[in-house]
Structures are given as C-alpha cells and as structure tokens.
Structure 1
Amino acid sequence: MRSAYDKTAEAESAQMTIEMKLAADGRTITSDGKGVIDLAEGDSAMTITAQDKTIEQRVVDQVLYQKSPDQKAPGGKPWIKIDLKKVAAQQGLSSQQIGDPAQTAAYAKAITDKDVTKVGAEKIDGVDTTHYKVVVDVSELPGGERMSKQLGPTLPMQIWLDDEGRLRRQQIDMTIKAPASASANPDSAASPQQLKMSTVMEFSEFGTEVDTEAPPADQVADMTGKALQGSQQSS
C-alpha cells in the first residue's frame, strides 16, 4: 500500500480526472476537472468546471495559475497566480486544498500500515483493479502538524490499484474544522464550522506527454498576498 504512490510516480505522467464536492452550511458545490499531470515534477494542466463556469488551471513549479473566460483579474489581466510554497509556509492545509492535484495525489505517501482493508476486485475504464480502504497519517503530510488540528490525526482514504500497483482511483473524504475565529457567529467557539470535502481522482494513459508552461508574466496578476491575508484571518 505504502509503495502505491511511488509505483504511480514511476510512470512519470498521466491523464487525470478530478471530481470534488464541498458541503458547508447546508450548501453543496461540485466541480469536475480533467487534464494531465507530471507525476515526477508535480506540474499539471487542467480544465475545471464548477457552477456552470469553466476555469483553465496550471500548476508550474508549485505556482498555481487560473484563468476564467468571464472574469478578469486585477489590472484586466486574464490570469491570476498564487505561490503555493508561500501559502504552505504559513498554513499547511491551504496548499493541499487550493487546487494542486499533485499535492492531493501525494496523500498516498502517508498511508499507514494499520487499518488496511481489501474490498475486492473492480474494473475502472476496463482496467482490472483491487479496491482497498486505508488510513493516512496526517502528521506525515506537508504541514501535518497544523493539518492535524483541522482534520484529526488520521484520514480515511480509498484507493484502487492496478496489477502493477499503480493508483487508478483515489478517494478522500474529509471533514475540516474551521477555527472559531473564522466565523462571525459568537457561538461558534462551542460549535466550530465544518467543511465536508470529497475528492475523487482517476489516473489513466500513463506516460502521456505533459507540456505545461507558465502564462506570459504580463498576462498574470499575483494574488498570493491576498491568499496569505485570507489564511491569516482564518488562523
């Protein structure tokens, strides 16, 4: 189980799809993405559809770039960027969940030796896989100490491995406890806000070509400072 991520990364690249569902305060938002990922370098390029809007996204050298056709960034520029390394240095969880698929896939690195359950054989897109339920040690993830306060010490995860031990599907269901200070509700200290997040990633066409470049600098507005301000307010 613990070698699953390494086995997958040996393929160097893959096509991927991501389905994400967020639920909080009685509202649910779903998004779907598809694209390619460089499993060795962590770069990715994908198109995300959420709430009838389509966003073009790239991650290059741990910098997140996004472009929405119907929304201009400050200065009228088509792209925004967020430096995930800077955000991670301040708040570990943010870089994991702000949209970097390589970070999400890397959760498989922290699978523990305990609580591994074999569910059975299943086919995914015609490929034979074995379905397992496993547990992730949150402290082993980047920013794990801070993440543990929001997620707890462990995290349930489901993985589907092909005959070569590579990830074909990964499902993470987590409940994130928001700090009381993040809510305007004075009673929130007794009942912290909760965000439920379900993420399903699928990998196929291993070894596919990935050619991801940062957009031209004059077309990008840097929103890293705003992201850092937001994470400070929720700290």
Structure 2
Amino acid sequence: MRSRGVKASAIGTAVLLGSVVLTGCGGDGASEAGEPAAAGESAGGRHQSTQAVRGAYDRTAEADTAKMTVRVKAAAEGKTVGSDGKGAIDFEDGTSTMTVTAEGRTVEQRVVDQVLYQKVPGQKKDGKSWMKIDLRKVAEQQGADPGQIGDPAQSAAYAKAISDDDVNRAGSEKIDGVDTVRYDVSVDVSRLPGGDRLREQVGPTLPMRLWLDDDGRIRRQQIDMTVKAPASAKPEASGSPQQVKVSTVMEFTDFGTDVEAEAPPAGQVADVTDQVTRQGQKQS
C-alpha cells in the first residue's frame, strides 16, 4: 500500500484542478463569513492548531475516496465569471471524475494516471473531441517535481510553509450538517515551489481557510488570491487583464464512495500538452 504522503498528493491534484484548470472559468474573491478568530490563543493552542492543519491532508487521504465539489469565481475589470465542478476522487492514485459547468457550458473532465482529459461541447481538435494534458509535463515546465505533481508539500507546500504564527483557530461551523472547526492560515509564498515567480503574482502570503471535521479531515478549503500578470507581460499586446481576483472553494463529502474513471479511447484524444506548456512559458 502506498504511503499516506502519496495518497495525500491526490488532494493536491484536486486543488491543482480547482485553482489552475478551472481558474479560466473562475470568482470575485469574496470569502464566506465565519466566527471571528479566537483572541489570545495560547502558544500551546496555536501549536495544536498548526498540527491539525499540517495533518489534515493525511487524515483526509485515509478515507481513500470522496465526492468533491470545486467552485471557482474570478473577477477582473468589473466582470465576474464562475464555474461549478462536481465529481469524485480516489486519494490513492489521484484518479478523478468531474463535471464542470461554466458560462452555460458543461465540460466533462477526468484524471487518469496523472493525465487530464477534457471534453468541451462543440470543441474539437483534429476531429477529436477529447483534449489531453499530461500534468507531469506541465509540472516540469513549472519547475516542480513531476513525481510529486499535486502533492500539497510540493505544488502548494501548505504543511511546510506555515508556522504556529500563521494559523488561527477561528471557531466552529456546520457544513452540510457536519460539525467542523475553521482555521485561518497564512501560507508563506516564498517557501512554495517557484516561490519567487509566484510571489510576484500573488504577493508574500497566500490566505487559506480550512474547515476540519472531528476526524481531522478536510470538509472545505478556500483560497482567495489576487493574481497579477507577470512583469514580462505586455497588456497592450495580450489584451489580458493585469489583475484577477480568484476565489477557489473545494469541499469533500461521502468519504469511501466508489470512483470509476477510464481514459477515453485513444482515437478520440488530441494531445494539447505542448500547447499548454508553450502558453505557460510565454506568461512566465
């Protein structure tokens, strides 16, 4: 059986899909209101909160599988666009299925063997209806370890990039009838892979909220950020906004659910990995 760390990497893959793949459909950065952060939390209490956050990915992965939803909103230049994704994920190997609805269109999405497949209605390439993106190659282009694609300790590095001063226990809330504790977390961007470039785009810290159930599992994760265009980008040429506010909310329910996903028939698949990586290089 694979280690907890490997299984937890699948959660990071879900985060990756929510914050990268879905961002193109993306929110207004508004976060949900909760109870105020606990005032005067003791040093021991802060340490316990940090340990709870650091252990959340492993404890969630112990459930093996879960249903998940990913909601993304992105706002730029007075316009807001949103997307909603529903599906299921296998924490053992990152296999997942998801249906994403955005701007009146429904996209079918699968991840099998760290390869993303997407089917967009009315969109074909070379007569093929499925688009394929090799997430490992994308990771290499971004300077990440392809063997750790989606690992929270690599692609997000949440567990390593926080200290006791970065976590606040913010009170109790119910999510779908389940009792949870919310933690407000400030992630040190400089300690993330590619931190120097990321810092230029999102600033020195990345605000994150986690809602953990009584078993220490993630029930909800929310990341709000303002993404700035790279310094090398030329707005007059690209026509792209220079700043986008993005809010990504991911939820897990129905732990232990069945997950079935297969790669589409090869004859129906067009590989667009190189195209995606070239676009990423132009934006870096």
Same fold (TM > 0.5): yes
Percent identity (aligned) = 60
Residue among 124, 128, 131 paired with 1:77: 128
Task: Judge conservation of contact 1:92–1:147 (CA < 8 Å) in 2.
Answer: no
For residue 248 of structure 2, what is the amino acid of its counterpart? T
Question: Among residues 187, 201, 207, which one is paired with 1:150 in the alignment?
Answer: 201
Alignment of structure 1 residues 35-46 onto 2, 5 Å? 35-46=87-98
- Name the count of aligned residue pairs: 224
Give the drift of 1:122: 0.8
Tell me the SS of whatever aligns to 1:180. coil
| 2:65 maps to 1:13 | yes
TM-score w.r.t. structure 1 length? 0.86
Whether 2:276 is the aligned partner of 1:224: answer no
Please show how residues 14-163 of structure 1 align to structure 2 within 5 Å: 14-72=66-124, 74-91=125-142, 107=156, 108-110=158-160, 112-113=162-163, 114-163=165-214
Post-superposition offset of 1:142? 4.3
Note the C-alpha offset of 1:152. 2.9
Cα-to-partner distance string for 1:52-72 (whole Å, 9 max, x where unaligned): 100000112221110012222
Distance across 2 between alignment mates of 1:41 and 1:142? 22
Change (3 A) 1:217 1:143: farther
Distance (whole Å) between structure 2 residues aligned to residue 122 and residue 226 of structure 1: 43
Question: Does residue 197 of the first structure (1) align with residue 246 of the second (2)?
Answer: yes
Match of 1:30, SS state, is strand
- Cα RMSD (Å) of the superposition? 2.5
Richer in strand (by share): 1
The Cα of 1:132 is off from its aligned counterpart by 1.2
Q: Secondary structure at the match of 1:211?
A: coil
d(CA) in 1 for partners of 2:61 and 2:195?
A: 22
- Structure 2 portions without partners, runs of 5+: 1-52
Alpha carbons 1:180, 1:193 under 8 Å: kept: no
Could you tell me how far apart the structure 2 residues matched to 1:92 and 1:176 are?
19
Shift >6 Å, 4+ stretches: 103-106
Q: Is the 8 A contact 2:161 2:192 kept in 1?
A: no
How far apart in 2 are the matches of 1:143 and 1:60?
26
CA apart distance, 1:18: 0.7
For 1:47, what is the secondary structure of its paired residue? strand
